[in-house]
Structure 1
């Protein structure tokens, strides 16, 4: 019986020294190309924001891995490409981590090492049509598991998930409402895989690749026409206050004073909520009743609660916390959320006894921040017969985690609010990338999201992920008011969660089962160790 995943001859690049065969590129040249190819997808994210480029950005890397002379080499080039990707999407960290960013990138790059093996196994050595069709599902599944591993906070969190590059593409946002950013990443990598097959293969494989592209297009079409956007039910009038950069001695007090000034300009705007950015208050309000009184007076003046963020040592608990605190016209309401997921090296140093030396070469945290224990949904006062507006606060980096906004939505949040500060990275791509994440979280949850920062970019998105009004850029010290559409619709992602991840796991499990049953295991298969294959081939020649 013919193997359904059988190969149709060898299309892989011959190794150097094969009689009559062209020489492969020098190993050093291939290594440089691998790093550069891995970095290409970063151009799809803000600030370049070439969203369309995401659908072909992986093709050079895929073609390089496909022609790797051995599985070991494919793994190495997967690692090098992963290093390039990690460096490119985290390049804004260089001023803080300096040379240590190379160590971080090298460690993260290891996640792509098995992906290099997988790509070569599925695309290399002249794949048949059925195998090419399988590759359109298998290769994206492998990529998605890398994104899942990277989403662990200890590895830096889900920054630079490939699907997040599509934050301003309406059909992609609709996909996110069904399967989160994970489903968008699957689609993007599937298109890249199909395009790579179109470039290198024969007619049967090209037909399989075209079928894969059609399936991707049909998936988008079915979701676009079959899944209704969130139904809007009323609006909330929310203001953000962005004081701008205030560094140096006395910066916290001057920033607070500027926040007061901007908030008073909002008097008479009929607001439901005023949001200040991350670390907008530099002292514990219990220890500084004068600051609490000033904020209370502001809430009374604008006739709306003020959500501030306190970055200070607590008087009632040991350690420094970053906390969202709601202030009403009668003072702090008692609603408080302590940040749960901290930025590695920025807010704590993993394994500080071992890695504490990082503080001497960069701007890593000198003292670890303390973690909160649970998410909090805060209820604003009901007015004019309207039910209380419920807000779900997130602090900075937490807006990158799909599961956190999903949890807040399931807990009853009507509006998601992210309080952020990126002044350290003011002149990099970081502020734009960070602000774009709110679009994905809004689309996934079917809830509007407000992104308020100290120094920009502050913005807001509707429940379908579309931008509301004009954002405040990094050159602004100003306030802005957004009329935010509300919705009580339940998205597929909120209802079913991270199901694309389970699909990816299933696809790879089926692949492993097929290999175990011999469907993929055969003489000459690159899934075997190269040394064993060479020995087997040599023995066969001796026997003949």
Structure 2
């Protein structure tokens, strides 16, 4: 391909358009086919480009993608952290594009048959990189998380988000090739690409998603207490937030009889007053649990060792705390601040985190002793952004989680799309794990999701709400959970091999 300024300008425009289109695939827009168009445009932009310009194009795509996608960061902490995070993620997209620039030098790897597969491998390996590095990674923006409503989302049952993203990228490249063939009036070739893309797209419909209960059913009450004001000041009055969730728990008695629920779910930060050290909070929580005659999963904080732990604690009426899960993956620069002195030079927002959150140990598994079922039920628990991390979710299920609970606090993000983007992740996780899933938020969106990823109940943002659900308990492990990180390792090894193989070839001159 020519590297004339005009061609490069066209490539840049294609990359930027592709980034914006891909953003539209994610909530709150949620038009998932746009991700196919976006990847197709990026593929066309990168055809025949050298390593340096490929990095530039990938970074331009990434900036056009991430800046609008995570604009909720600006709402919370301002423009500097928002732009900084977006630029870092965009630059990592550029790294994947450099790998593709090497891979496509090989005539074998850029053949009409292999090009979509190799590009998809390289793209997905780039997602794995972004999801694990730096500082533990930032998985937001994985293509899979835009496909909760598409047939490809069902592939999560087989290979998790890694397989879904791979399939999305394959279809996206085929869409790009079809567009390119049409510009050359090669209708037959374009039709062939569309047919293959359609076959890949519908492949997910053949995945056998089972939503039936295997170990009985769990009756749960879900409490969204709400807060008075959105934003970072939402939890300035911790007693008020606790009271809101106590009130919501008593409100469950308007529709349920005492003892009819097996468990009541509260969100992250529902009680930032630690009931282990505050007698009034302990008495109030215990009284609410006794009134509904059911344990309560309480989101709270524990201060120790010079930091704090973000925890979900299982409170049994008359007994107190019987199980604890501490968040394993605190969010860098939001819940703890690495390199604080250096980061402060760029933004004073780092000092909003006055006490660093510490990482908990152990999988997100809580043992609920159910009198009605006559056995111990495994509750898989992840907290807030942990829903985005494969290993945390897999660990909760492999430890014995028969349902999956996502405790989250979205109050800081106002009316932005952060909550619905997180809900889309929870839906993919439901398919991936084969578990009924509940996202319970302080302010919404809270939702009940079946093991096929379908939303059965959903709340509005910033309103008090309660839901009651009968969740199927499941114990079998899906292929995705059994495989764990294997699909991610496979795409990384293949992407590295493709880049090395291509790098040994001289770049084509035309």
Q: Does the 8 Å CA contact 1:62/1:193 hold for their aligned counterparts?
A: yes
Alpha carbons 1:97, 1:364 under 8 Å: kept: no
Question: Counterparts of 1:226 and 1:313 in 2: how far apart (Å)?
Answer: 45
Cα distance in 2 between the residues matched to 1:240 and 1:288: 24
| Cα distance, 1:217–1:496 mapped onto 2, change above 3 Å | farther
TM-score norm. by structure 1 comes to: 0.83
Which residue in 1 is equivalent to 2:336?
A: 348
1:389 match: secondary structure: strand
Are 1:15 and 2:4 counterparts?
yes
Q: Which has the larger radius of gyration?
A: 1
Q: Residue 28 of structure 2: SS of its match in structure 1? A: coil
The unaligned stretches of length 5 or more in structure 1 are 1-11, 17-22, 527-544
The residue number in structure 2 matching 1:323 is 311
Counterpart of 2:441? Answer: 453
Distance in 2, Cα, partners of 1:386 & 1:173:
36
Q: 1:51 maps to what in 2?
A: 32
TM-score (structure 2 length as normaliser): 0.89
Cα pair 1:98 1:361 within 8 Å, conserved? no
Measure the CA separation in 2 of the matches of 1:374 and 1:327.
19
Distance in 2, matches of 1:83 and 1:336, equals 40
Q: Does 1:194 align with 2:182?
A: no
SS at match of 1:296: helix
1:280–1:311: 8 Å Cα contact kept in structure 2? no
Task: Report the Cα distance in structure 1 between the residues aligned to 2:475 and 2:263, rounded to whole angstroms.
Answer: 19
Q: 1:138 to 1:59 in 2, by over 3 A?
A: same
Stretches of 4+ aligned residues off by more than 4 angstroms: 29-33, 118-125, 127-130, 201-223, 247-250, 361-364
CA distance in 1, matches of 2:207, 2:416: 39
Match for residue 275 of structure 2?
285
2:381 is aligned with 1:381: no
Q: What is the aligned partner in structure 2 of residue 533 from structure 1?
A: none
Is this contact kept in 2: 1:359–1:366, CA < 8 A? no
Residues of 1 paired with 2:185 and 2:487: CA distance?
A: 28
In structure 2, distance between residues paired with 1:498 and 1:368: 29
Unaligned runs of 5+ in 2: none
Q: Which residue of 2 aligns with 1:367?
A: 355
Q: Give the root-mean-square deviation of aligned CA atoms.
A: 3.0
1:446-479 Cα shifts (integer Å, max 9, x gaps): 11111100010000111222222x2111042121
- Residue 226 of structure 1: how far off its partner (Å): 5.6
Distance 1:312-1:98 versus aligned 2 partners, 3 A rule: farther
- Distance change (3 Å), C-alpha of 1:128 and 1:15: farther
Where 2:294 maps in the other structure, the secondary structure is coil
Shifted more, 472-481 versus 507-516: the winner is 507-516
Q: Deviations over 1:26-75 (max 9, x none)?
A: 5xx8656644432321111111111122221222232222265x442222
For 1:220 and 1:200, the matched residues in 2 are separated by 20
Match of 2:131 among 128, 148, 151: 151
CA distance in 2, matches of 1:299, 1:141: 50
Instruction: Select the residue among 473, 476, 480 that pairs with 1:489.
Output: 476
2-structure distance, mates of 1:344, 1:214: 44
| 1:334 positional shift | 2.9
* Structure 1 pair 226–266 and aligned structure 2 pair: CA distance change class (3 A): closer
Q: Does 1:410 align with 2:410?
A: no
- Alpha-carbon offset, residue 312 of structure 1: 4.5
Give 1:486 deviation, angstroms: 2.2
SS of 1:44's equivalent?
coil
Contact persistence 1:66–1:119 (CA under 8 A) = no
d(CA) in 1 for partners of 2:73, 2:472: 35
User: 1-side partners of 2:14 and 2:349: how far apart?
Assistant: 29
Residue matched to 2:428 = 440
Once the two structures are superposed, residues 203-248 of structure 1 have per-residue CA deviations (whole angstroms, 9 ceiling, x without a partner) of 9998777666655554565553363524423321111111112345
Separation of aligned partners in 1, 2:440 and 2:101: 44
What residue in structure 2 maps to residue 243 of structure 1? 225
